[in-house]
Amino acid sequence: MSDGATADAGTVLLQATGLTRRFGGLAAVNAVSIELRRGEVHAVIGTNGAGKSTLVNMLSGELAPSDGTIRLAGTDITKWSQPKRARAGIGRSYQRTNIFNEFSVFENARLSAQAAHQRVWALWQGARTCNRSGPVADAAIEAVGLGRHAAGPAGNLSHGGKRQLEIAMCLATRPQVLLLDEPLAGMGAEETERMLGLLDALKADHAVLLVEHDMDAVFRIADRITVMVNGEVIATDVPEQIRVDPAVRVAYLGEDD
């Protein structure tokens, strides 16, 4: 975790500049700039209401920014719809579990994978036996450790299982950029370890944005941390610097001296 590693980090995949979202008079996110690099886990931390989810929603395309630009590998995608961004390689997971409860675990992941291979006119081809989305879904389910449950209904999974499926569905779209909104929320210790191992492995080829409240996990896995307070970024740095940053300690860690 030296400065050298930071310099070595890969190319900037997703770059937001001056991103702002106003709801009425309130700026939920105010002039936030952030860069996600391939090979890095970039954590965004902050108290509830700091604007983290709003930021993710703008990056994923669910919410149009009031101001600012978003670039994916240099291309301005600010005006792109969410589906278009997803197909271009921005995958996201949701803070509140957001799956297809009544489908099987496999079908949840397969349907997500199908987005890259929609072929709607090929009506004679069965979706269940689709040889493009099927293997991708299998691999995604295996990667998060849900292999045993693939055939069962997603709605019957435990809370932790649903969180894992949430990640599997994101992976099944084969994104380059992963926007993970509190992926560890509600996970047990074992599941958390597994997820952190997965993130560590994924970051070799992906740019990962991690919104997370589990500070131990954040400081273990993040290569860079952005701290948000009241919709604004008060610090962006490597974890060691964030840990000792006086502004962060006052504003976020609740210390004043």
Footprint (CB under 8 A) of another protein, residues 82-111? 82-84, 86-87, 91-92, 94, 98-107, 110-111
d(CA 51, CA 22): 11
Binding test (CB under 8 A) with another protein, winner from 19, 77, 171, 242: 171
Q: Which of residues 184-243 bind another protein (CB under 8 A)?
A: 197-198, 200-202, 204-206, 223
- Does 150 bind another protein (CB under 8 A)? Our answer is yes
d(CA 218, CA 225): 8
Contacts with another protein: how many residues (CB under 8 A)? 76
Asked if 31 contacts 20 with a C-beta cutoff of 8 angstroms, the reply is: yes
- Does 136 bind another protein (CB under 8 A)? Our answer is yes
Q: Which stretch binds another protein (CB under 8 A): 70-78, 124-132, 182-190, 243-251?
A: 124-132
Of 27 and 196, nearer to another protein (C-beta) is 196
- Does 1 bind another protein (CB under 8 A)? Our answer is yes
- Does 139 bind another protein (CB under 8 A)? Our answer is yes
d(CA 51, CA 181): 12
Q: Which stretch binds another protein (CB under 8 A): 45-53, 80-88, 210-218, 241-249?
A: 80-88
Of 19 and 198, nearer to another protein (C-beta) is 198
Binding test (CB under 8 A) with another protein, winner from 12, 73, 115, 215: 115
d(CA 64, CA 19): 10
Asked if 117 contacts 132 with a C-beta cutoff of 8 angstroms, the reply is: yes
Asked if 186 contacts 212 with a C-beta cutoff of 8 angstroms, the reply is: no
User: Treating both helix axes as pointing N-terminal to C-terminal, what angle do 159-172 and 133-144 enclose, rounded to 10 degrees?
Assistant: 140
216, 194, 227, 177 alpha-carbon torsion, rounded to 10°:
170
